[in-house]
Amino acid sequence: MTTPAPAPFGTRLRAAMDARGPLCVGIDPHPSLLADWGLGDDVAGLERFTRTVVDALAGRVAVLKPQSAFFERFGSRGIAVLERAVADARAAGALVLMDAKRGDIGSTMAAYASAYLDPAGPLFSDAVTVSPYLGFGSLRPALDAARAAGAGVFALALTSNPEGAEVQHAVRPDGTTVAASVLTALKAENAAEAAEGRLGSYGAVVGATLGGTAHRLGADLAIDGPLLAPGIGAQGATPADLPAVFGAAVRNVVPSVSRGVLRHGPDAASLVAAASRMADEVRAVAE
């Protein structure tokens, strides 16, 4: 007996956004946050921090986004905490976006794809962040693995940090910017799902901090897929900034906040209250 193919990521994401609101909360166990929570900068602190966030929020928010680096810094025991977080968050109904920002030559990209996008793997996630700056085509193994698994991919297009501009705003020989070409490539990946009236599974990362940059660059955000918008909270953007950045595409935006929610811990009720305040603010601008 064969198991039925899972619904595509974009379809599952739209359902989660409708049911829970579109917010993504990042799990970024910075050493300074561990200290603020009264925890040690060690595996026990990492585990307590992560479990608190997952227990408080995985039953409520659409997406949880663990930042892999904060787990990798503790080696194999940190990765074990990450594995458990992914499993627990998914079991509680959150979609897990693994923030690993992987990008490599195609043959190595295939190995990254099997790390995060093979349903049999211990770190299998609903989606993963990838960097297209070795050339969008180098992402092909991840795009194909995601399609096969009903998972998703978020490619960095216009990142929230000011340094991103030197690469992403660069103009190609055909007159388009590098960022615009990434968005165009994602739109092509989403074509089949869009033709069925569904949200695509191939997303772009576009910082909430960017103001009218995408518009100025002539970058088309109507990629028929989700737009992850980090930069809210600690990096200075607010939900009120989203319409200016995204225009009509705001309906497909998944605003992402890490420290802006996490700084309210370790009290679970305070974490929940912070996330729901943020979700209300987002809903007010996205509808």
Ligand X SMILES: O=C(O)c1cc(=O)[nH]c(=O)n1[C@@H]1O[C@H](COP(=O)(O)O)[C@@H](O)[C@H]1O
Question: For residues 194 and 217, what is the distance between their CA atoms, to the nearest angstrom?
Answer: 24
Both tokens of residue 53?
């966030």
Please confirm, yes or no, whether 187 is among the known catalytic residues: no
Select the residue interacting with ligand X from 103, 132, 200, 230 (CB under 6 A).
230
What are the start-end ranges of the H helices in the chain?
A: 9-20, 31-36, 43-57, 68-72, 75-91, 106-117, 140-149, 165-168, 178-189, 191-195, 213-216, 242-246, 259-262, 268-286
Select the residue interacting with ligand X from 125, 138, 160, 252 (CB under 6 A).
160
Our CB check for ligand X shows the closer of 6 and 133 to be: 133
Select the residue interacting with ligand X from 50, 52, 138, 159 (CB under 6 A).
159
Q: Is 26 in the site for ligand X (CB under 6 A)?
A: yes
Question: For residues 104 and 15, what is the distance between their CA atoms, to the nearest angstrom?
Answer: 32
Residue 144, classed as helix, strand or coil, is helix
Q: Which of 84, 90, 101, 259 is catalytic?
A: 101
End-to-end CA distance of the chain: 43
Q: Is 52 in the site for ligand X (CB under 6 A)?
A: no
Question: Least distance from C-beta 78 to ligand X, angstroms?
Answer: 15
Smallest Cα–Cα separation from 227: which of 6, 17, 67, 68? 17
Q: Is 10 in the site for ligand X (CB under 6 A)?
A: no
Which residues 6+ apart lie within 8 Å of 143 measured at CB?
153, 189, 202
Select the residue interacting with ligand X from 62, 64, 81, 99 (CB under 6 A).
99
Our CB check for ligand X shows the closer of 7 and 234 to be: 234
Select the residue interacting with ligand X from 235, 238, 270, 276 (CB under 6 A).
235
Select the residue interacting with ligand X from 8, 152, 233, 266 (CB under 6 A).
233
Q: Is 238 in the site for ligand X (CB under 6 A)?
A: no
Torsion angle of the four alpha carbons 61, 67, 68, 74, in this order, in degrees rounded to the nearest 10: -110
Q: Is 67 in the site for ligand X (CB under 6 A)?
A: yes
Question: Least distance from C-beta 66 to ligand X, angstroms?
Answer: 9
Per-residue mark of binding to ligand X, 170-209 (x: CB under 6 A): -----------------------------------x-x--
| Distance of alpha carbon 97 from the chain centroid | 5
> Tell me, what amino acid is at 157?
A
Region 121-140 residues binding ligand X, contact defined as CB under 6 A: 129
Smallest Cα–Cα separation from 12: which of 222, 181, 254? 254
Q: Is 213 in the site for ligand X (CB under 6 A)?
A: no
Select the residue interacting with ligand X from 110, 192, 234, 268 (CB under 6 A).
234
Distances (CA, A) of 149 to 113, 138, 238, 282: 11, 19, 34, 30
- What is the contact surface with ligand X in residues (CB under 6 A)? 26, 28, 67, 99, 129, 159-160, 205, 207, 230-231, 233-235, 256-260
- Residues annotated catalytic, as ranges: 101
